[in-house]
Amino acid sequence: MKSFLAIIFFTTCLVLSLRAQTVSTPKQPADTGNKTEIRQPDTIRQVDLVDYLVKWMKIKGSQEKRDNRKIRFTLFPTQSNAGGGKTVITSFNASFLLGDIENTNVSTVFFIPYISFDKQFGFQLQPNIWLKNNSWNFTGEYFFLNYPQETWGLGGNSPDENETLIDYDHTRIHQNALKEILPNLAVGLGYAFDRHYNIKLEETEQGEIINDFFPQDRDYTISSGITLPAIYDTRHNSNNPQQGFMASATYSFLLHGLGSDDDWQSLFIDVRKYFPFEAKMHQILALRSYYWTIISGNVPYLDLPANRWEPVLGSSSRGIQQNRYRSNAMLYFESEYRFGITANGLFGGVVFASVTSASEYQTQHFEYFHPAAGAGVRVKFNKYSKVNVTLDFGFSKGYQTIYVNIGEAF
């Protein structure tokens, strides 16, 4: 029943997207990334945080220099509670165009080095590159992490008392190359490698159960194989989409012949839709859903689907602790209402709600749904790339936290 609801959601978003492109309606200003600004009815000049910093520091000629730059950088210190301990991060974002703004999406690169007060350290690199005319799209994830965090076992009803610390290092190399075959539609080929090593489990009753999912003769697991990605994307700027529709699917084959511990297969489907309000483009309803499942094979525990470990750009399950739910399949739904607070675009806000569900282990039965909600403020850091500094408060039953970051959750 729950899988059927997911299919209905995906189909509805697709129909709405196609209808928006075929029905004759008044045209909205395009989300054109870093050249053409959305024209507000009152034509108030749009500003960002850098404008105020430049004014305060009395830097002359900075506006002209900013107007002529081809690469837009954003560097901001952020904080996260993803693993249970506070993590100090400096998030770096570069946005640029490799073609004409009329027919080429904005490329982005996120670089996130961090060190925590809970023995977490490492860095993440996440590029999303679009070549001229969107002819090719290169996406990747590169992790080098030391990442102790809590785990609660498998299934959608894992109790709080199952909480067990698992300490490990993680190397991830995921790279996809996609070729456009139709307008907005690209398919491709990729490689995925995940190595979890120096794995240590807390000695608890639940730890003994989880330990059965790890090799008995070594402290590491390896998953290595090829991916078959496909994406349909009408957004122009993934930093802060103002409109459009995105649907992606990635089928992964992890193969013993390529170094994987076992042969196994997985599927990840991600759908996102953005509805701008006709008279007020700074107000947007954003929807997202994903379905992540293991198709076949024996999967290492740390490679099983889990919340806030999705193999794509962006984040989910705000208000639910990372790794809280893990199983062979995950379902996720989220809606977020984004609105402007000041007419010049400097300040904005969001309210969001989501539901996360992990299947009963080794089944496709989704019996337990875990809601979360929250609200946040936005400060425009770069009006050209439309990158915001985000401050969100998220909560769910028995858990609450604050997220500070650059860029939208999705």
Residues 181, 185: Cα–Cα separation, whole Å = 6
* Residue pointed to by tokens 């989300």: 31
* pLDDT value at residue 57: 60
- The Cα diameter of the chain in Å comes to 68
Write down the pLDDT at residue 272: 97
Which are the contacts of 166, defined by CB distance < 8 A and separation ≥ 6?
148, 149, 150, 151, 199, 200, 201, 202, 207, 210, 302
**Number of Cβ within a 10 Å radius of residue 283:** 15
Q: Which helix (H) or strand (E) holds 145?
A: strand 136-146
How far is residue 404's CA from residue 391's CA, in Å, rounded to a whole number? 5
pTM for this one?
0.82
Amino acid found at 101: I
48-55 long-range contacts, CB within 8 A, separation 24+? 48/345, 48/346, 48/380, 48/381, 48/382, 48/383, 49/346, 49/379, 49/380, 49/381, 49/389, 50/381, 50/382, 51/383
CA-to-CA distance for 45 and 55, rounded, in angstroms?
Answer: 15
The pLDDT value given to residue 5: 42
Name the residue type at position 259. G
Backbone angles phi, psi at 258, to 5 degrees: -105, 15
Query: Is the separation of the CB atoms in 323 and 81 below 8 Å?
Result: no
Segments forming the whole domain that contains residue 136: 2-406
- CATH code at position 170: 2.40.160.50
Q: CA 174 from chain center: how many Å?
A: 14
CA-based nearest residue to 221, from 209, 236, 210, 232: 210
Q: 310 with 31: CB under 8 angstroms?
A: no
Ordered DSSP codes for 253-282: EE-GGGT-SS-EEEEEEEEEEEEEETTEEE
Domain count, the chain: 1
Each residue's pLDDT, cut to its tens digit, for the chain (410 residues) gives 444 344 334 434 433 333 333 333 333 334 444 443 333 444 667 776 666 666 666 555 555 555 555 555 555 555 554 444 445 556 777 888 888 888 888 888 888 877 766 677 788 889 999 999 999 999 999 989 888 889 999 999 999 999 999 999 999 999 999 999 999 999 999 999 999 999 999 988 888 889 888 888 889 999 999 999 999 999 988 888 989 999 999 999 999 999 999 999 999 999 999 999 876 558 999 999 999 999 999 999 999 999 999 988 888 999 999 999 999 999 999 999 999 988 888 899 999 999 999 999 999 999 999 999 999 999 988 877 788 888 999 999 999 998 888 889 89
Nearest to 124 by CA among 85, 177, 70, 80: 80
Instruction: Please give the pLDDT value at position 29.
Output: 38
Nearest CA among 391, 396, 274 for reference residue 336: 274
Taken as a whole, the chain contains a residue count of: 410
Comparing CA positions, the residue from 196, 229, 171, 213 lying closest to residue 326 is 213
**Cα 392 to Cα 320: distance, rounded to the nearest angstrom:** 13
Answer for the pair 391, 377: CB distance below 8 angstroms, yes or no. yes
Kindly report the backbone phi and psi dihedral angles of residue 39, in degrees, each rounded to the nearest multiple of 5, phi listed first: -85, 120
Determine the pLDDT at residue 98: 87
Q: Which two tokens stand for residue 113?
A: 């080095």
Check residue 26 and give its pLDDT: 32
CA 272 to centroid of chain Cα atoms: 11
State the Cα–Cα distance between residues 301 and 29, nearest whole angstrom.
47
Q: CB count, 10 Å around CB of 269?
A: 17
Beta bridge partners of 187: 179, 230
Distance CA 53, CA 87 (A): 26
Q: Which residue has the tokens 């529709």?
A: 245
